[in-house]
Amino acid sequence: MSPLVRRFADFLNDLQQLERATLSTQGSLILDAFNKHTPYDVDAVYLRDARGTAMRLAAKSNLCVAPEIFDGEASDADLPLDPMPRHVIPMRTAREHLGVVALTGDPASDDDLQMLYAAGSFAASLLSNHRMAQEMREGDFQLKYRLWELESLYDIGLSIAGTLNIDALADEILFRMISLINARRAALFLRDGDRFRVYRSFGDTRSDFLDDEITDRVIAAGEALTFEDTSECIFPGCIATVAVPIKGDNAVIGVLAAGDRETREGAVGAFEANELRLLSLFANQVAIALENARLHKEALEKQAMQRELDLAATIQRDILPKSIPIIEGLELAALSRPARQVGGDYHAFFQREGTLTTIVADVSGKSMPAALLVSAFHAAVQLLFAEGRELGDIATELNRHIHSWSAENKFITMIIVTIDPEAETIQFVNAGHNPCYVVTGDRIEQLRSHGLPIGILGSSKYMTQTRPFPAGSTVVLYSDGISEAENAAGDEWGNEVFEELLSRHANSSASAVRDAIAEAVDAFVADAPQKDDETLVVARTAGHEEEYADRHSSQGVREKLDDVYAGNESELDPALDLMQSMALPPETW
């Protein structure tokens, strides 16, 4: 083997060490090999950046003055070295230019030049293989890293998606975010009107609200943003901060913020691109979890509201009359139709010493508050009536009690009437309620309000008023849901139509009047939804002719004859037939 071949073999053997060299030692290894196997002692090695075309100084001899970066696109003759290189040996493959070796010294023989160029090509192949292997390792690492990301996000998604309590969810979000991107501080901001308020934080935040400028930037960007120059805008004393929007269906519902990423060495560094991308993916899962928590909270609130409505409906069912009292010489009919599950209307009946008292009231508000007020009103009415008080005293005590017990904005309109069929009078108190109607023959009278609604002014006093109520008269009490019933066009049924109907049914029974009113209101409203509770009480005393007919009907005759022919029932029917066929006056019975 010739000395040149042996020297070339040794040269390639030294360059072979590039396969096991690290990136930082490649330049020195090439420089040492060229110094050892060539007559040149002043030289420099430039290697191309892994990404880009620039050549970066990798190694140089002590006597060489060389810039750190050399434009890889420039000619080798333009390499600005001192001293000027005699030879610039390219390290190039068919696919890429990987670097150059600049040599200074005495001229070389043709054999030496061939050896140098061959060595440059060999070094280029080794560098290319090394970089390909490095890229494969990086690709494998990235693949494993992405797989870890997906597994981590999947586990995090399961964890936070199963947390429906918003407070527990906020804690879990911060814990997971800190673990995911190695942050020392974290905060969750949720929308509060047009701003974002701190809902949970790990570490102090500069303010309870996210800065308006940061808010605008995060919303406008729609992705993770880093803040290094103005890092103290979220966390005091923070070196690096990242904020990422939490996007709901139609708007940004919150912002995740993290600060001071901890490096492997324990120092604090800026957030890297992978961490920003990971935080953005995490924010997507947080948005879903927050939406689930919100829907769960709404469902619980609806359930609680439904339980409240069910309880209020039960309260109302228990206090409203379950049946209408039967009183001789007096017809009663009632109607109660709440607009919702729970209404604010109330009605009741009381009997005392041959009289009938009925009340219709309308409580302000709806749902449970109205049901509770109705319950208190009902209890007070029962107690006061049981004490035997007259209507004015009952209304005055009711007003004092409701005013002291209920809220300032709660009140009750009420009309209470007492019918005395024997005295043919009607007493009433109307406290801010609709006027009720008294129909006697072809005459209609209104019993109008003469006092404030119950509960408005604690010192209000109410006086009982009395009107004639001849036999055959009808009184109609109602709530405003009857007279103000609206059709689809927004028109009200109105009192004028109401009075015309009562005139047409002046001699009708109480139940017939009630049914006529209900049918007329339903026909007027048609398919429009019911907007207010509808309550109706109709009472009618029997006329003298009706009393006579009732008293002297076949059944009445039979009852009287039962007493006469007690024990002789076989003679009862012939006697009854004889009395009726003779049309004898009652005085002869």
Dump pLDDT digits (tens) for 538-562.
Answer: 999 987 555 545 444 445 545 555 5
pLDDT at 494 over 90: yes
Please give the pLDDT value at position 508: 93
Choose between 417 and 108: higher pLDDT.
417
Lowest mean pLDDT among 61-70, 75-84, 121-130, 318-327: 75-84
Distance CA(475)–CA(464), nearest Å, equals 17
What residue segments make up the domains of the chain, in order of their start? 3-136, 162-296, 322-541, 552-588
pLDDT at 52 over 80: no
- 73: buried, middle or exposed (CB in 10 Å: 19+, 13-18, 0-12)? exposed
Please give the pLDDT value at position 141: 63
pLDDT tens-digit map of 443-470: 999 999 999 999 999 899 999 999 999 9
pLDDT at 216 over 80: yes
pTM attached to this predicted model? 0.53
- Given pLDDT bands bounded at 50, 70 and 90, which one contains residue 438? very high
pLDDT tens-digit map of 399-421: 999 988 887 788 999 999 999 99
Mean pLDDT of all residues in 341-352: 85
pLDDT at 96 over 80: yes
Choose between 232 and 442: higher pLDDT.
442
pLDDT at 90 over 80: yes
Nearest to 375 by CA among 344, 397, 404: 344
- Give the H or E element holding residue 332: strand 330-337
Lowest mean pLDDT among 183-192, 226-235, 400-409: 226-235
Choose between 316 and 541: higher pLDDT.
541
Please give the pLDDT value at position 582: 44
Lowest mean pLDDT among 263-277, 328-342, 418-432, 562-576: 562-576
Q: Are 417 and 477 a contacting pair, CB within 8 Å?
A: yes
Please give the pLDDT value at position 413: 95
CATH architecture for residues 162-296:
2-Layer Sandwich (3.30)
CB atoms within 10 A of CB 535: 25
Distance CA(69)–CA(85), nearest Å, equals 16
Mean pLDDT of all residues in 304-331: 82
- Given pLDDT bands bounded at 50, 70 and 90, which one contains residue 104? confident
Choose between 550 and 26: higher pLDDT.
26
Distance CA(84)–CA(77), nearest Å, equals 9
Can you say whether residue 567 is alpha, beta or left, with left for phi > 0 and alpha for psi between -120 and 50 degrees? left
Mean pLDDT of all residues in 45-52: 83
pLDDT at 253 over 70: yes
pLDDT at 332 over 90: yes
Fold of the 322-541 domain:
Phosphatase 2c; domain 1 (3.60.40)
Is 256 in a helix, a strand, or coil? strand
Token pair listed for 471: 């036999």
Please give the pLDDT value at position 352: 87
Nearest to 170 by CA among 187, 193, 154, 184: 187
- Given pLDDT bands bounded at 50, 70 and 90, which one contains residue 78? low
Please give the pLDDT value at position 585: 45
Determine the CATH number of domain 3-136.
3.30.450.40
pLDDT at 74 over 60: no
Q: Are 474 and 510 a contacting pair, CB within 8 Å?
A: yes
Please give the pLDDT value at position 586: 45
Which span out of 19-23, 100-104, 316-320, 405-409 was modeled with the highest average pLDDT? 100-104
CA distances from 278 to 140, 152, 246, 271, 568 (A): 18, 10, 13, 11, 105
Q: Are 208 and 230 a contacting pair, CB within 8 Å?
A: no
Lowest mean pLDDT among 69-73, 282-286, 313-317: 69-73
Mean pLDDT of all residues in 558-568: 52
* Domain 3-136 identical in fold to domain 322-541: no
pLDDT tens-digit map of 238-251: 888 888 898 887 88
Choose between 494 and 570: higher pLDDT.
494
Mean pLDDT of all residues in 159-186: 82
- Given pLDDT bands bounded at 50, 70 and 90, which one contains residue 232? low
Mean pLDDT of all residues in 141-149: 64
Mean pLDDT of all residues in 364-388: 84
Mean pLDDT of all residues in 154-170: 75
Mean pLDDT of all residues in 324-329: 88
Please give the pLDDT value at position 286: 86
Choose between 430 and 369: higher pLDDT.
430
pLDDT at 264 over 70: yes
